[in-house]
Amino acid sequence: MNILETRIFYTKGQISKIVVLADYTSVGKPYSDIRALEAKNQPCSGYEFIKPNETLSDDLINRIADFGIEVNPSDAFPDWKKQYK
């Protein structure tokens, strides 16, 4: 997995949502398996979530890329197809 972009949203000074755009291509043409995964500050069974007062870190971003909820990449990163061909 190769993390391409991350979007971080704050509410009242705390992280409320993080969306990660990552390339999961293991063999073949790069950027052929791009996914967006997100985590919010509300628990969702079986998925990564942002705990209260959690600090932004590489580990947190990697956990979201591994265990976040998959969302439509075009919703979170509207121009991703232009950048990653």
Task: Copy the structure tokens of residue 1.
Answer: 């997995």
Domain spans of the chain?
Answer: 2-83
Question: CA 10, 13, 15: angle at the middle one, nearest 5?
Answer: 40
CA-to-CA distance for 56 and 50, rounded, in angstroms?
A: 10
Q: Mind listing the pLDDT tens digit for each residue in 14-36?
A: 999 999 999 999 888 889 999 99
Is the CB of residue 30 less than 8 Å from the CB of residue 65? Answer: no
CA-to-CA distance for 23 and 56, rounded, in angstroms?
A: 21
CA-to-CA distance for 77 and 35, rounded, in angstroms?
A: 10
**How high is the mean pLDDT of the chain?**
95
Q: Quote the pLDDT of residue 5.
A: 97
